[in-house]
Each structure stands twice: as C-alpha cells, then as structure tokens.
A and B are shown apart, each in its own frame.
Chain A
Amino acid sequence: MMTFPWISSLTALPLIGALVVLALGSKNKALVRWTALAFSLVALILTLAIWHNFNTQADGFQFQELRSWIPALNVEYRVGIDGLGLLMLLLTSIVIPIGMLASWQIEKRVPLYFALVLVLQSCLFGTFTALNFFHWFIFWELGLIPAFFLVKLWGGSGSSKAAMQFLVYTMVGSIAMLMSFLAIFLASGTFDFTELANLAQSGQLMPAVVAKLGWHLLTPEHAAMVIFFGAFLGFAVKVPLIPFHTWLPSTYAEAPSGTTIILTGAMSKMGLYGFLRILLPLFGAEMQRVLTLLLWLAVATVVLSAYAALAQKDLKRIFAYSSINHLGYCLLALFAIVKFTGGDAALTSQKFAAMNGVFLQMFNHGLTAAILFWFIAMLEKRTGGLRGLNDFGGLRKVIPVFTGLMGIALFSSLGLPGLNGFVGEFLIFKGSFPLVTWATSLSVIGLLITAVFILGILQRVFYGPLGEKWAHLPDLTLGERLTLVPAIGLMFALGLYPQLILGVVNHTAIQMALHLRNF
C-alpha cells in the first residue's frame, strides 16, 4: 500500500489531464470541459483516499517518496505530507473543480484554458508536497506561468497589465528567495527541508551561512537578517502582506472569475504554506528580532485591507481586499506564535490554538473565497459581465435562491458562528490575544469593517427597489443549485463540526508549534 507512489501519481495526474485535454482539440468544447473536470474530480477522489489513509497521530511526514536525483548537488526528489500538506492538497482538489465550473462559460481557446488550469493544479500539488527546496522551487516558479497566461489571455480589458504586474512582482519575490536559499545551500550543502530545519533548530544554520558568505561588512546578525529578508519577501508577496500586496487587487479583478477562484482559493495559500513550512522553522530567530515590525505589518494588513475593501466599487476588488484581510489574521497568528520561545505550558497551549486557527482559516478562506467568486462568475454570466456595487439593486426579488445561497457565503466570510469562517478566527484570536494582546485587539477593527462592507454588498446589490433592467434576471438553474449544494453543505459541516479538519491537522500543529521552542 505505502509503496505505491501516491503523491507523485497525484501530482502527475493533472499534467496527464492537461495533455489529454490539449490532444482533444477545440472542436468539441463540451468534451474538453467534461474531460478536464473529470480529471480534477479523479484528483479529488485520490486526495480523499490519501486523507482516508492518513495516520492523524503519526509524527513527521507520511506517504514519503525518496529518490536520488542530482547526486552532485545533493538534490533528492523527496515528497511527503503532514497534516498541513494534506489539508492544502484537499483544498486544492476542491478549489480546482470549482474554478473549472465557474469557467464553464469560457468559449475562447477552451482546451488551452483547461490545460493551463490542470498544469497549475499539478504545480500546486507539487508545491504542497515537495520536501526538498530544489524541486519545491521549480513547482513554485512553474506555477506562475499558467497563472500568468490564464490572467492575461482570458481576463478583462486591463488583464495584460495586471498579469505582467503579477508576474514581475512574484518573480522579484522569488528571485530574492532563491538568492537566500542558494546562500543557505552553499553553507549547509543541503536543500532538504527537514535537514535544514534540524540545523536551524540546533542553531548551526545561520552561523554557517554567515561564515561561508564572509560578508565582512555586515555583522553576523545583519547578514542573517539579509538572508531572512530575501526568503521573507518571496512569501510576503505571495500571501500577501501589506505593503507587498498591490499586485493582488488588479490581478484578481482582471482575471476571469474561474481563475480568480484558483488564485485566491489555492495559490494564495502557497505563501502561507511557505511561511509555515520554511520561514518558521528556519528563520524563527530572525522573525523574532523584527517581530514588532512584523506585527504592525500584520495589523496593517488586516485593518487597511478591510478599509480599502470598503472603498471599492467592483465586487471582485472588494473580495480581493477581503482576501488580503482574511489571510492577514493568519499572519497575525503566525507572528504571535513566534513571539515566545521556551516551554511555558500556558503559552504553548495558546500557540497550539493559534496554529490550529491558522490551518483552519487557510482552508476556510480558500473555500469561502472560492464560492464567493463563483457567485460572481454566475452573476457576470447573467448580466453580461456587470459586477459593480452600484449596478444593481433589489435583486433578491427576482433571484431569491441566488441571494439566499450567496448570503450564506457572505455571512461565512463575515465569520458568523455556525458557518465555517468562525472557528478559525476564534482560535486565531484566542491564541493570539494572550501572546500579542495589543496587535490582536487592534485587529478586531478588521472584523467590524468586514461586516460593514459585506452588509453593504447585501444592501446595494440585493436589497432596495428592483431596477427595471433586472426584472427578468434568471435565478439559479437546477444544475447550478446541485453543484452548489456540496460546497454550501461543507460550509455548514465545518462550522458545526470543525473536528473534521482539526482532527487531521492538530498533531501537525502541535509539532510545528513545539519545533519553535528553541532557537
């Protein structure tokens, strides 16, 4: 059972799908769409099988595969998952079919579109399972290329510019990260995450790097900070952390909604995943050194993005800023976890709560944001692309089912108890408050402003008198309702029984939080 290369198969599957889809050609568009969807659903089933066989109590990585690859560079192909990796696999497997369904109405170069989506899925799987920096970075970078073309070729009028901004931005971040890792590699001779983490744990990593680099102009601490900053930049751009975020609103707004779903649902998690998998174990001490700054940035991310969302008139831009806001809570909790080292039992238990909260929030944000952009895709389909806050009014009268279901998703985004958004936020605040009281207290402003703009959407789009123009807007079709039911059902299930996810990730959360004990 365990000898079967589950993870490599899972990563390869969408890639094969992409080739198949391209081979089908553009004659039969329906066939192309259904084939692509079928591949993504098989990937989902495969992920669920892995989920089922995952041992929630085991330490370290599971489903590991290890192959020698470039012996000269000491590069191995090593993949495996822990609770976090598994959670991200599941999220990706759920978000990609949603993105495909929301892209159903695309008529231009259909095979290429779906092939690129599948390639992107492969890259995401690869990123979330790689345990060696070498091929992790390849997946990380390669994922940019399909994303770039999806935004550029199928997006709105400003998509070329947005795609370019997205690419250059993330590329700069990636280059900075690559530099840092090359420096680390040269000093340590390894790209393996576990080995690097162990070196960092024993306090040998940074001295070795500094000694190797021989940057005599800088003190060892400063040199370490430079290395840290390079790696940090790559992830901070991806999440994003204010002020490294300006690529995001225009990219999300200009991308076709199906692509936005994948960008926000799955790709934005690559940044947080990097924080958790790489930055926290390797650079804990460096993060601690600039913690005050980081906390302020996290608070700024939470608060300013919420306020910026309030100022937007385009629904997609609102949700884009809302995405930044939601992931800002994750960053707040991450930085809070770094604040204290040592084995104080009370603080450790707060770290466990915060870490679990981060995991839960990552998944829930992915799910909720994907569903919200899905609704926008359905709205655009009905209105010929209109999605301005002031373009509508009183839609609830003509499309009550649409309103009701989107209302559920909106309230989930607002963090209403009983729906998926609440528990993650609660755990984040519960864990962060005792660790970083003031930053956490300031962050609740974000919760308030989120309510203001979400209710603003309901008020302006769905409430009020019905505009003449929309008197015949069709409500959700039976097909749309049936595809939405599982997604909405999942929101309720996770809101009422978060143990579904926490049961799987808790052990990993404990281990990760404990790893931070000494640096």
Chain B
Amino acid sequence: MTWIVRNLWLIPVLPLLAAGISALAKQKSRALAASLAIGSMACSFILSAWAFAYVLSLRGSGELTQQVFNFRWFQFGNEGLSLGWVLNPLTAVMLVMVTFVGLLIFIFSVGYMEHDENFTRFFCFLALFAGAMLGVIIANSLLLLFMCWEIVGLTSYLLIGFWYSKPSAAAASKKAFITTRIGDLPFFLGIVWLYAQSGTLLFYNNGTGCLEPASIAHLLGQTTSIGVCAATGIALLIFCGAIGKSGQFPLHVWLPDAMEGPTPVSALIHAATMVAAGVFLVARVYPLMSAHNGIQSTLTTSTALQVVTWIGAITALYGAIIAVAQYDIKRILAYSTISQLGYMMMGLGVGGVSVGMFHLITHAFFKSLLFLGAGSVIHGCSGEQDIRRMGGLWKPMRITFVTYAVAMLALCGFPLFSGFWSKDEILHAAHHWNISQAPYYMGAFAALLTAFYMSRQVFYVFFGKPRLAEESDDHAHSHAPTDTVEHHGPSTPHESPAVMTIPLMILSAFALLLGFFGTPAWPWFQSFLDGTPLALNFGAFSEGGILPVMLTSSVIVLLGLGLGWWFYGRRPIESAEAPDNFGKLLPPIFTLLGHAFYMDALYGATIIKLNTQLSKISDWLDRWVWNGAVKTVTQIVFGLAHLDNFLDTHVVNSGFDEGCESVSRSGHILSRLQGGRVQGYLKIIAGALIVFTILLLWKAKI
C-alpha cells in the first residue's frame, strides 16, 4: 500500500485542524484564519491531485483500482467496529473537485467577506465544512460517512445562520437542519438495518464488505414481514438521506431558504458540494441501489433505482418550473440547483454512476461560478438581490458578465459547453430507459425551462436600463445587510476586486471545457469511473440514437433561449416596477409559481401544525392526565395516612417503649417472621414508613 493510500486521512484532517486552531484564535486574527483555511485546502488539493494521479497510474498498470485502509474504532461485545477510507476513481474525482472548487471559493471569500466582523469565524466554519465533506468522500464505512454527513449538516446550519442577528437567517438555518434531519433518520435506520443484516458497515473489506457481492446476495435473499427484500428496503431508507441532503422533492423546501447564508457559502455548500453529497451517496452505495432479484441483465432496473429516477425526474421538472417565476437572483439559482440535482439523480437511476457523476462534476463548476458571479453582482450592487432592480450591469461588470454568460450557457446545455455533454448523456440514457419514457420528456421539458429562466435572469440582470440608481438610497440600505454586511462605496455598480474575479475566470474555463472529458466520442470520464477501456471514436455519435437526442436537446435549448429573448431581451426592461413580461400572460399561475406552489404554507398547515398539536397534547397529558392521576392517588393515600395517624397516636406514644423492648427481643420476632407471619411484618414496615413520611411532611411545613 502506498503512502497516499495510508495517509488519505490527511485530506479531511488538515482542514479540520485548521478549523480547530482558528476556533481557538481571537476574533481579530483574520489573516491567520484565512491563511489557515486556504493553506490547508491547498495542501488537501495537492494530496487529492496526488491520489487522483495514483488512481490513474493504477489503471495503467492494471491493478485493482480500489484501495482501502480499515482500522478498529472501538470494541463492543465480541466484535469490533471498524472504520476506514477507500481510494477508488469515485473518491479521486470527488476529492479533486471538492478541494479545487473549495479552494477557489475560499479565495473568493477573502474579498467577499472582507468587511464582515465575524471573518475569522467564517473561515473556521468553512474549513470545518471542507473537512467533514472530504470525510464523506473518503469514508469506507457507512457509519463514518454518516458521521461526517451529520457534521456537514452542522456546518451548513452554522453558515446559513452566519448572520444570526437576522431572524430570517436564524429561521432558515433551523429549517435546513431539521428538514435534512427528517431525511437522515430513515437513513440512520437504514444503517442499523444494514448493520444487522450484513454484520459490517464497511463498504469494501476483501470480500466481506457490505457492498461486495457476497453481502448483496445475502441482502437480496432476506425478505421482510412487509414483503420487500432487505436490499430494497435498506436502499430506500438510505435514499431518504439523499433526498434530504440533495434537496429532492418533497424535502427540497430548505434549499431556497438556505440562500440566507453568505453567497460563497451558497456556492460551495448549497450548489457545488454538500447538496451533491446525496447524489454521491447514491453513487457510493450503487451496488446496493442497483441490486435486484431475478435475472441479472441490463434490461431490468431495481425498485430502488426506479424510485431514484422518478424522484429525480419530478425534482428536475419541479425546480425548473418554480425558477421561472422567482425574482431573487439567488433563489433562481437555488431552484435551478434543485432541478439540476434532480437531473443527477435521474442520471444515476437511468444511466448509472458515471452518468450521474459526470453531471455532478460539471454542475459543480458552472453552478458555483453562477453563484460566485451572483455574489460579485450583489457585491457590486451593494447588497441588492432583486433582479428587477439590477439591469445594464454588463457594462460596469464586464468580467463578471462574461464569466456569468459562460456559466449560464453551460447550465442551459448550449452545444459544446460542459453542461451540454453531461445533460445530454442523462437525456440519452433516459430515452433508452426500459421502464418508462416519461422521465425523458420531463427532463427535456425541464431543459427548455432551464434555458428560459436563465436567459430571463441574464436579461434582467445584465441588460436593459440600469434600474439600481432609480431606487432611493434608503432602499439600498435596507437591503444592505442581506448579503454584504457593510455598505461601502458608491451605490453605482462596480466590478469586484481581482481576488474575486480571478476565481471566476478560472471556473469559467472549466465550465467551458470540462465537457470534453466525457463526450460520446471520447468518454474518458465514464471509462475512468466504470473502469471500461477507452478509445477515441467519432463514429460513436452516430450510434445508438445519440445524434438525434443531441439535436433535439440543442433545438430545445435554442428554443428556450429564444423565448427568453422574446420576452425579456427584445425590448429592454425599463423599470423595476414593470410587471414580468411572461408573467402578465398568466398572472394567477405566475403567482402560484412565485410562491413555489405554496409548499411552505402546505407544510406549515400540515406537518408543522401536527407537530405543534402533538407537543401541546403531550404537555396537556403531562399536566392533567398523568399528574392528575397521581394527585388523586396521593389524596387518597394522604387521607388514609391521616386516619391512621389519628388512630395510632397513642399507639406510637406508648408503643415506643414496647418498640425498644421488641428490639431486645429481636430473636423472638425474627423467629416469628421466619415462622411465616408476613402480614405482621409488612404492617410494621408500612406503618413505620408512613409515620416517617408524615413526620417529614410535618417537618417540611415548618
């Protein structure tokens, strides 16, 4: 085992250490916190790149591309609980992506958070997040993965509520934690069930791991009392965790609210990495997800994967529909993220690990770029987030505009941009899915909407008449604390400093070019993840209906962009008060979409209400039923005690001497007791205790 495999733990531990040190540092040590976070992330990136190179070299040498290192954490009963880490192509790809994107966002944050009084704390939380997220990636045990997963949830909570003085941020952070925890609890049950069935939570362990064929076969053979085989039940429970974390319908409601956090947080955690952890989880336990009884062939899909596909397809469409009617620049992106995460899930369901993961990776780059661009816009507009109050920004913010446009085209799936290749692969796989064609059409329609809402956003933000100035100054002030805490500089839009624009430029290069690593002609990414041989073959385009799907999706994208231009670009938007050009066609529906189908209100009226009622009932039961019963009994006992006390007054008085005597005659009494006169003895004890109680009662009244 080489050095990098044995020391893979350094990758998550370095940022964790940085977080620990800066947690102890003083608030003023800004430079220390930032350089610790960035430095540790840079080291982790180098190590990740090393690990990646090592996995690549293994492929060349034909060795096993799965290297694990397990160790015993603690012992209970006659067995031990082991944890460990695994280095395989999936780990390597995710490591490089998270450390690289993370590093860029850390650097961007130095500029973005410059004026924040809790700058030190911010980098501490970011580093903690990075450590936990990298832990999720390298974990070779479902338990270790879950532990890191929960800590990731904690850091998400801390960072969404970073501006804790704002009640909306405080509420959003709580909502995020609790909503994801609703998904995590079935996940937790899935873990203990898996543990009970397979006796280990290690993924890979020389043939005995829970994802290895022997264990999967065993799981398939177990049927539960409700008729589902254990493999399916466990897979679905684990998927619940992914639904929560990855903002899948119906647990997506926390993600738009999570935009209360600083924008770099939205970029890193709520776009590129943490929300993708659910997708990664499904990819990690794919052998379990795809396990099914019967004839093993490519034509059958396991129940679990069918559920994944349908949830993904619904989410993809649902998120895209809502994004059409949002006005907050970050909320549009948030719903877009929900939609894209749905695509990834769908890709996993219909196409396999490499299909879903490829979109995860390309999305991480262009979506974090979009968020950082939005951050740059918000920064440049002194905290404004409403797209109706922006406009004409392409001129003062050229770098931001160009990079944003690249990312937007990548997201829409414009031909040759990275999103085109990855989204196309999903649609292609969906087109060939053996169960149903519906996900394909849902995905295609979502692609149309994606192009439409993104062009709407770009036209609103970067084109048309500048509408920021027309707003009175106090408006800008009232919006100031929503993002950049300190209002600084003139209220005219301005380009962001280099520390923010350079990461944008680097990311846009990836958003543009990354797709070429996974084209049908040269599917390097797919072959790397799946371990299949790789060859350059331009003929692949004409095979298996790839070209028609590509052409269709290109037409769809162009149509979406064209519609966007028709409604928002054709005539420049004049005023912030003007109604939405598309929305005014169907105002009631647009309002419904603007409120995201009133899902929050629905949950508020059902689940949250139920919860409140249950807590009131529990409290009421406590106060009146349980306590009432006890009080009644107490009254009866006290009544009897008083009666007894009254009767026994002289018995106790005169009985004292007798009592002393009886002690001296204890042998005699004992012989009587052992003779079986139980009642007498019990009576004495009970009487003594009652007298003792009354004595205390009487004393306590003084």
Contact = CB atoms under 8 A, between A and B. Distances in A.
**Do A and B actually bind?**
yes
A259 to B, nearest CB: 16
A367 interface: no
A363 interface: no
B673 interface: yes
A427 B76 contact: yes
Nearest to A465: B165
B177 A455 contact: yes
Interface string A139-182: 00000000010001000000010011001110110010011001
List the 7 shortest-distance A-B pairs measured between CB atoms, nearest first.
Answer: A352-B77, A417-B147, A463-B170, A307-B618, A311-B619, A310-B615, A434-B196
Given A348-B77, A448-B182, A466-B165, 16 more contacts: A148-B700, A179-B682, A186-B673, A246-B622, A249-B622, A308-B618, A416-B150, A417-B150, A423-B74, A429-B189, A434-B196, A451-B177, A456-B174, A459-B173, A463-B161, A464-B165
B630 A448 contact: no
B678 interface: yes
A43 interface: no
Nearest to A73: B670
Nearest to A422: B147
A400 B77 CA distance: 42
B228 interface: no
A284 interface: no
Contact of A246 (B171, B193, B626): B626
A502 B74 CA distance: 7
A323 interface: no
A311 B615 contact: yes
A356 interface: yes
Interface in B592-642: 611, 614-619, 621-622, 625-627, 629-630, 634, 637
A120 interface: no
Interface in A232-287: 242-243, 245-247, 249
Interface stretch (A101-109, A370-378, A383-391, A503-511): A503-511
Contacts of A199: none
Contacts of B682: 179, 182
A381 interface: no
The interface residues of chain A, by DSSP majority, are classed as: helix
B667 A349 contact: no
A213 B681 CA distance: 13
A498 interface: yes
A212 interface: yes
A164 B700 contact: yes
Contact of A418 (B151, B177, B186, B616): B151
A444 B188 contact: yes
A426 interface: yes
A202 B696 CA distance: 42
The interface residues of chain B, by DSSP majority, are classed as: helix
Nearest to B171: A459
Given A502-B74, A509-B77, A307 B614 contact: yes
Interface in B63-103: 73-79
Interface stretch (B261-269, B438-446, B685-693): B685-693
- Contact count band on B: 35 or more
B691 to A, nearest CB: 12
Interface residues of A, number: 83
Contact of A350 (B74, B174, B196): B196
| Max chain A Cβ within 10 angstroms of own Cβ: one of B167, B173, B185, B196 | B196
Nearest to B79: A349
A349 B77 contact: yes
B176 to A, nearest CB: 10
B364 to A, nearest CB: 25
A72 interface: yes
B178 interface: yes
A425 to B, nearest CB: 9
B181 interface: yes
14 contacts: A72-B670, A183-B678, A243-B629, A307-B617, A350-B196, A356-B76, A396-B164, A397-B165, A416-B151, A440-B189, A447-B185, A455-B157, A463-B170, A463-B173
A353 B76 contact: yes
A53 interface: no
A242 B659 CA distance: 40
A312 B619 contact: yes
A171 B150 contact: no
B76 A502 contact: yes
B697 interface: yes
B76 A310 contact: no
Given A160-B700, A427-B76, A459 B666 contact: no
| Max chain A Cβ within 10 angstroms of own Cβ: one of B151, B629, B630 | B630
A452 B178 contact: yes
A462 interface: yes
Contacts of A433: 189, 192-193, 196
A315 to B, nearest CB: 16
